[in-house]
Amino acid sequence: MDPITIKQDDELVALFCSGDNRAFEELVLRYKNPLYQYISAMVKDEVAAEDIFQEVFISFFKHAKKYRPEGKFKAWLFLTARNKVLNYWRGEKNTLSLDQTDDDGNAFLQETVADDSRPVLDELSWQELQGAVRRAIDQLSPRQQEMIYLRQFLSFQEIADTVGRPLGTVLADCHRAVKKIRQLMEGQTIQGEEL
Amino acid sequence: MKLCEQVLLYAKGELNPAQKAAFEEHLKTCTACQGELKFLAKLEEGLVPPAAPQRAVDRLFARTTRKPALWRRFKTVWTATAAAAVVGVVVAISAFYPSAQPFSAAELVAYMNSSAEEEYTIFAEELTDMEIYFE
């Protein structure tokens, strides 16, 4: 195994700053998939997603020396991506906003969905499950979608720091999003069964 | 924070040991949290990120770590310009002297041989002069 692949993010950043381009490429390979997933889910446009994806890493390539090694490289990367996504939306004069709120879920976790999940969810193949999850997430508000994608790769505290909202608000948003996905997926699978 | 409200933090492994132990005790009897955890696991499974397009990664590397150095790019441009200039001169000469024939390979070899013979003669004469001088 190439020793560079087992190095911590901050070590790789330091190596890159000292002139080792392999360290930069390792960081790209390490985060390319989650970062691309997040960006493409947010902008819904393949060409724009690829451009933003490249811009995030090029920004790091040019300004790596400004990064402070605090073990938060991943959060820094997603924050940069988020800012570029917001710029894209502003440029597109898109009416969507990550700060818009949804109507449901007023009571945080008081409405925890009872354990009545239908067995059909368990019977979905992996591909079917991915499709069902994607369709359900597409129906969420942008803010909820962002929570779901960020939640995969960042801790809740890191998400709170990234989006600039209190931890409790982030947890509430995420819970509402998960709850809505569950309702939508169960609806989808029931519909699928009926068809 | 109520115990049910910690289900997301528990699923992500973000509770401290004491909170985790308390939540696991609660989980034994809370069917809502059990269902939530089961669904979260399913959601994780369905959210495996797709691979970023390879062309995007290739373009990124081409614009950063694998971008040719400035002098190499200059050398490439210079070589291409020089080659184009030579071709241009040859084409221009051909246009002005349409009857001119290029050297044949045999003529070129004969010229090089005669030239070498001439140079050898000059060198031999110089050597002779030097021998005379040292005597």
Mark whether A125 and A71 lie in a shared domain: no
pLDDT tens, position by position, A138-193: 899 988 999 999 998 899 999 999 899 999 999 999 999 999 999 888 876 545 44
Q: Decide if A188 is inside a domain.
A: yes
Q: Decide if A147 is inside a domain.
A: yes
pLDDT tens, position by position, A91-145: 775 544 554 443 433 223 233 333 444 445 666 677 778 888 888 998 999 889 9
Amino acid A50: pLDDT: 94
CATH of the domain at A174: 1.10.10.10
CB-based contacts of A68-74 (< 8 A; 24+ apart in sequence): A69/A10, A69/A13, A69/A14, A70/A10, A71/A8, A71/A9, A71/A10, A72/A158, A73/A9, A73/A10, A73/A13, A73/A27, A74/A9, A74/A31, A74/A153, A74/A154, A74/A158
Mark whether A128 and A71 lie in a shared domain: no
Q: Decide if A111 is inside a domain.
A: no
pLDDT tens, position by position, B87-116: 777 777 777 766 655 556 677 667 666 666
User: Does the distance separating the beta carbons of A121 and B65 come in below 8 Å?
Assistant: no
Rounded CA gap, B121 and B11, in Å? 94
* CA distances in angstroms from A37 to A49, A129, A148, A165, B1, listed in the order given: 9, 17, 11, 22, 32
Residue A95: name the closest of A128, A141, A52 by CA.
Answer: A141
Residues in chain A: 195
Q: Can you read off the two tokens belonging to residue B54?
A: 């390879």
CATH of the domain at A13: 1.10.1740.10
Q: Decide if A110 is inside a domain.
A: no
Amino acid A15: pLDDT: 94
Domain count, chain A: 2
At residue B83 the predicted structure's pLDDT band, cuts being 50, 70 and 90, is: confident
Measured between beta carbons, the chain B residues lying within 8 angstroms of A155 are 12, 14
At residue A13 the predicted structure's pLDDT band, cuts being 50, 70 and 90, is: very high
Mark whether A23 and A66 lie in a shared domain: yes
Residue A26: name the closest of A8, A40, A38 by CA.
Answer: A8
Mark whether A17 and A86 lie in a shared domain: yes
Q: Decide if A103 is inside a domain.
A: no
B12 shares contact with chain A (CB less than 8 Å) = yes
Mark whether A61 and A124 lie in a shared domain: no
Mark whether A85 and A10 lie in a shared domain: yes
At residue B129 the predicted structure's pLDDT band, cuts being 50, 70 and 90, is: low
Q: Kindly report the CA angle at B15 between B14 and B17, in degrees rounded to 5?
A: 130
A156 shares contact with chain B (CB less than 8 Å) = yes
Q: Decide if A42 is inside a domain.
A: yes
A75, A35 Cβ separation under 8 angstroms:
no
Name the residue range of residue A86's domain: 3-91
Highest mean pLDDT among A43-47, A53-57, A66-70: A53-57
- Residue A126: which of B7, B45, B55 has the nearest Cβ? B45
- Of A91, A110, A141, the one marking the end of a domain is A91
Mark whether A54 and A133 lie in a shared domain: no
User: Does the distance separating the beta carbons of A28 and B35 come in below 8 Å?
Assistant: no
Amino acid A117: pLDDT: 42
Amino acid A102: pLDDT: 39
Q: Decide if A61 is inside a domain.
A: yes
Mark whether A87 and A124 lie in a shared domain: no
Amino acid A128: pLDDT: 78
Highest mean pLDDT among A50-64, A81-95, B46-60, B85-99: A50-64
